[in-house]
Amino acid sequence: MATQAANRPRHSCIQSPPASAARAFCCPSGASHVRLNRPAPRPSVVQLLDREVSALDELMADLRGGPLGQGHFDALEERAHGIAARIRGAFRGGQ
């Protein structure tokens, strides 16, 4: 038992991660210990939709003022398409 404990690294690092794993130094000294980087949890559908509320509010405010010409109308329509795409993406990619 004592030899197994002596062979373990003093840090919560993994000394030989798989070759495909992303690596990051876990020690301030930059020692050769590495740990696996875990991806951040995916945001929920509600969190992703909340991000679009202000964009939609801004678009609605610009629409209430009336388009200033065909170029402005096209720009507003492009913004609306972007918002719609991100809303669809929230349902496809969120938890």
Residue 71 has pLDDT above 90, yes or no: yes
Residue 69: pLDDT band with limits 50, 70, 90 = very high
| HEC readout, the chain | CHHHHHHCCCCCCECCCCCCCCEEECCCCCCCCEEECCCCCCCCHHHHHHHHHHHHHHHHHHHHCCCCCHHHHHHHHHHHHHHHHHHHHHHHHCC
Mean pLDDT of 74-89: 95
- Residue pLDDT, tens place only, 5-57: 555 555 554 555 555 555 555 555 655 556 677 887 888 889 889 989 999 99
Residue whose structure tokens are 């980087």: 37
**Would you list the domain boundaries of the chain?**
7-39, 45-93
